[in-house]
Structure 1
Amino acid sequence: MQNLSTPCLGRIFLIFIQVHTFHLFHILVPQFIIFAI
């Protein structure tokens, strides 16, 4: 847990979350639009 406090790892973790969220959003939105229609 102490390694997580390093700025470099935190930045990588933040970028990973952003990319993962964007990827999830990119997959879910078209499905939601298709489902809504």
Structure 2
Amino acid sequence: MNNVTLIGIDLGVLVQIRSDNYRLFIQVSVRLNLG
């Protein structure tokens, strides 16, 4: 049970990191397009 919960937490952290990087990528691309 503990291993499953730890894997779930790791997946959640990875998803958060990926979403944050994706947001930064969108912001940079928008700035480049506007600039």
**Structure 2 stretches lacking a partner, 5+ long:** none
1:24 counterpart = 2:12: no
TM-score of the superposed pair, with normalisation by structure 2: 0.73
For the aligned residue pairs, the C-alpha RMSD in angstroms reads 1.0
Query: How big is the shift at 1:30?
Result: 1.1
Which residue pairs with 2:8 in the alignment?
11
* Structure with higher RCO (Cα < 8 A, 6+ apart): 1
Q: Post-superposition, which runs of at least 4 consecutive aligned residues in structure 1 deviate over 3 A?
A: none
If the length of structure 1 is used for normalisation, what is the TM-score?
0.70
Matched residues, number: 32
Structure 1: where are the runs of 5+ without partners?
Answer: 1-5
Distance 1:32 1:17 in 2: 22
